Amino acid sequence: MGGPRPRSESERESLCGADREVVRRAQEGDDGAFHALVDRYARRLFGFAFSLVGNAADAEDVVQETFLGAFRGLASFEQRSSVETWLFRIAVRQAAKSRRSRGRRRTVSLDHLPESRERAGWSPEKVDTRLDVRAVLGTLSSEHREVVVLREFEGMSYAEMAEVLDVPRGTVESRLFRAREKLKERLSGYLP
Amino acid sequence: MPGCEHMGEVGAYCDGELSGRKRARMAAHIEQCPDCAREVERLRGLSRLLAGASVPQMRPLFLAQLHGRVAPAREVGVVRFAQQLTAVAAAVLVVCCIWLWYVPGSGGANGGPTEGWESAALALQVEMPVDVSPDEQLAEWIVQDLSQENGSD
Ligand SMILES: [Zn+2]
């Protein structure tokens, strides 16, 4: 993933403080501050968007719309949530919009991949693991894919995911459980 | 789900989402329960598998484009003003060229010393439509109501 999330608590804390300062400056009209946010988050948001929409072109659109949306909402952002959560929250919605408007024709074939492969006598061992994991991820519903990507790739806590997805924590937990059940089933050939 | 009744909590345990006593109890249970121990292994295997699934790197050019496209409004305003200024300058030059071409004795029609003017006007005309994207984006912001997309913050 481009620009992985800092895992240690202290690293995150200092980044969070720096983000708040950058946003405060951007809100006060410091043009460079918003560009600093773009530099800091563009790669991560691209990786995140790619995992959700399944192709680079749409992922770029999602990233662009996310920052445009963030810039528009900058004045009313009260920093009740972290900047990271705020940006991912916008990105999730932009990705959903992208899937609805443009991604449909691209993801339809991906969505039906496991069934068609099974019918064609596909065996997991024969396929390159990394491609296969991506493809299987693409077979999940949007809701399941979102929780898996936020947890496994972005390392978010259940509370953070709940905030990003705007659902109760219990919903995050049950979605994650069901998504993992599906992944374990579809990737059983690779698992212990 | 077949197996131990606690297997549903293994995910939260692996994610570090069980706190205090619950976590300690689960750890002790996993020591004793082959079903849950196997589930821990499978979930860790799944995490490793997903971690190995690569995402293409973002194009460096896209980052540069992104900075241009999401530029703060003040910068967009400056760009637009520069474009308008360029357009006015180009129009003035074109009018001057036409005037020089038609006014007798000005030398324009005879290939006199106005070549620089002509090429400058042409160059300016060529430059005009370049980088209109910030305006397009600005128009998009105005047309498109993203207020709901921006969350409740
Ligand atoms: Zn058990």
Q: What CATH number is attached to the domain comprising A191? A: 1.10.10.10
B110 touches chain A (CB under 8 A): no
Cβ density class A153-188: b for 16+ within 10 Å, e for less? bbebebebbbbbbebeeebbbebbbebbebbbebbe
Nearest CA in chain B to A47: B55
A165 touches chain B (CB under 8 A): no
Residue-level pLDDT at A6 = 58
Are B46 and B73 within one domain?
Answer: no
Q: How many domains does chain A have?
A: 2
Residue B2 lies in a domain: no
Place of tokens 């449909």: A104
Place of tokens 């991820």: A137
In chain B, positions 1-30, which contact chain A (CB-CB < 8 Å)? 8, 11-12, 15, 17
Is residue B136's pLDDT more than 90?
no
| Domain extent at residue B94 | 57-111
Nearest CA in chain B to A59: B58
Nearest CA in chain A to B74: A31
A42 touches chain B (CB under 8 A): yes
Alpha helix segments (H runs only) across B70-114 = 73-102
Check residues B86 and B57 and name the one with the higher pLDDT. B57
Residues of A in contact with B55 (CB under 8 A): 1-2, 46-47, 50-51
Check residues B118 and B140 and name the one with the higher pLDDT. B140
Are A65 and A99 within one domain?
Answer: yes
Closest CA to B16 of B6, B26, B28, B7: B26
Nearest CA in chain B to A75: B153
Is residue B126's pLDDT more than 70?
no
Residue A150 lies in a domain: yes
The whole-angstrom separation of Cα A6 and Cα A44 is 11
Are A98 and A183 within one domain?
Answer: no
Are B62 and B83 within one domain?
Answer: yes
Q: Of A85, A106, A127, which residue constitutes the final position of a domain?
A: A106
Residue-level pLDDT at A134 = 86
Is the reported ipTM for this assembly greater than 0.85? no
**Which residue numbers in chain A have pLDDT < 50?**
1-2, 106-124, 126-127
- Hey, how many other C-beta atoms are within 10 angstroms of the C-beta on A103? 23
Are A124 and A81 within one domain?
Answer: no
The structure's pTM equals: 0.69
Binary contact (B74, A29; C-beta < 8 A): yes
Binary contact (A2, B74; C-beta < 8 A): no
A72 touches chain B (CB under 8 A): yes
Are A56 and A119 within one domain?
Answer: no
In chain B, positions 60-79, which contact chain A (CB-CB < 8 Å)? 62-63, 66-67, 69-72, 74-75
The whole-angstrom separation of Cα A71 and Cα B67 is 12
Closest CA to A46 of B66, B73, B133: B66
Nearest-CB residue to A90 (from B12, B58, B149): B149
Residue-level pLDDT at A135 = 87
Residue B17 lies in a domain: yes
Residue-level pLDDT at B120 = 32
- Hey, how many other C-beta atoms are within 10 angstroms of the C-beta on A113? 16
Are A144 and A175 within one domain?
Answer: yes
| Residue B72 Cα, gap to closest chain A Cα (Å) | 6
Q: What is the CATH number of the domain that holds A97?
A: 1.10.1740.10
Residues of A in contact with B149 (CB under 8 A): 69, 90, 93-94, 97
Binary contact (A176, B11; C-beta < 8 A): yes
Nearest-CB residue to B153 (from A29, A39, A78): A78
Are A89 and A151 within one domain?
Answer: no
Residue-level pLDDT at B71 = 66
Is residue B63's pLDDT more than 50?
yes
The whole-angstrom separation of Cα A49 and Cα A150 is 11
| Domain extent at residue A139 | 115-192
Q: For B21-39, what is each residue's pLDDT tens digit?
A: 999 999 999 999 999 999 9
Sign of torsion over alpha carbons A48, B47, B43, A122: positive
Are A93 and A126 within one domain?
Answer: no
B-interface mutation test, from A28, A30, A152, A161, most B Cβ less than 10 A away:
A152
Are B123 and B105 within one domain?
Answer: no
